[in-house]
Homo-oligomer: A and B are copies of this chain.
C-alpha cells in the first residue's frame, strides 16, 4: 500500500506532517509513505518505506480553489490527486485549501462510476467521544434527493468499513422529526431513503440533537451541512474560550480551575475532532482525505490510520458495487 500526504497543508505543516509520517512509517513497515512537498530537505532521511516527491508550486489557503487548481498544476494538491488517479498512490491526504482539494479531486482523481456528486464527510465530535459521520458539508451546496440517497449509501459503507459501526443508522438532517417536515428536497429524500434497502434509515434528525449522537451517519445538502459544521465549531470554540476567561480571571479562579482540570481536559478531548482523523471525499475514484486545517501530529497520524483502513477494507470497490446497481 502507498499513502501520499501533502507536506504543505495545514497550520502546523510541514513539521506536524513529517512527524506523523515518521511515526506511521515505523508503525506500518509494509506501507510506503510518500511526502509531496517543495523542499526535499523536509525529509532528509527519505529511504525504505518513506519517500519524497518534489513539486514546484504550492496552493495557499486563500487561493481561489478552481483557479488555483487550474494554474498550479505542479502543486502538492494537484499532484497528490493525480497520483491517486494513476494508481501511483492508493490514497492521498491533505490539510490544505479545502476547496482546492475538492476541485482537484473532481478534476484530477475523478468521480466514481454511479456517483453523481462526491461529498465531503467529516466526523463530528459528540458528547460521548464517539462521532457522527456527516455528509455533505460543502462539496455541493445544492443537492437533489437522489444525491442524498447516494450520500447515505456511501456514508453507510464508509462508517461500517472505516469507523467500525455495524449496520450504521442513517439520519436525515431536518427541521422536525415528522416525514412531512422541511423542504421539497428533504421530503423527497425522506421517501427515497425509506425505500432504500441497502441502508438502515432511522428518519429525520434535528440539529439540536447532534451532540447527543442520534445516529451514526447524518445526510444533508452541502449548504446546511456546512452551516451545521461551522456553527458547531464556532459555538463550542466561543463557549470554551469564554469559560477559559472565567477560569483564569483571578488567582482564586485559577486555583479552582486546577481542581477541575482533569475533568475538563477529558471533556475537551471527547469534543476534539483530532481524534477522528480527516474528512474523506466520498464518491471519488480513489481515497482522498481532507485533514483539518489545524491538524497537529496526532490528527495527521489519525488521518493516516484512516486512509489505511479505507484502502485495506476496499471501501471504493464496495461503494462502486453498491452504487452501480
Q: Which residues of A contact B (CB under 8 A)?
A: 127, 138, 141-142, 173, 175, 181-184, 186, 206-212, 222-224, 226-240, 242-243, 246-247, 249, 252-253, 255-257, 259-260, 263-264, 267
Residues of B within 8 A of A182 (CB): 141, 223
Q: How far in angstroms is the closest Cβ of chain B from A100?
A: 13
**CB-based closest 3 A-B pairs:** A208-B234, A256-B256, A207-B231
B206 with A230: CB separation less than 8 A: yes
A-B contact list, 22 entries, CB within 8 Å: A127-B242, A141-B175, A141-B183, A175-B222, A182-B223, A183-B223, A207-B226, A207-B227, A207-B229, A210-B235, A211-B235, A211-B238, A224-B224, A224-B227, A232-B235, A246-B260, A246-B267, A247-B260, A253-B263, A255-B259, A256-B257, A257-B260
When C-beta atoms are compared, the residue in chain B nearest to A180 turns out to be B64
B249 with A175: CB separation less than 8 A: no
CA distance A208 to B137 in the complex (A): 14
Residues of B within 8 A of A256 (CB): 255-257, 259-260
CA distance A260 to B264 in the complex (A): 14
Residues of B within 8 A of A229 (CB): 207
Residues of B within 8 A of A222 (CB): 175
Residues of B within 8 A of A173 (CB): 227
A239 and B239 in contact, given A141-B182, A260-B246, A263-B249 (Cβ under 8 angstroms): yes
B253 with A260: CB separation less than 8 A: yes
Question: Which of B237, B257, B259, B267 is within 8 Å of A252, CB to CB?
Answer: B259
When C-beta atoms are compared, the residue in chain B nearest to A259 turns out to be B256
When C-beta atoms are compared, the residue in chain B nearest to A141 turns out to be B183
Residues of B within 8 A of A243 (CB): 243, 264, 267
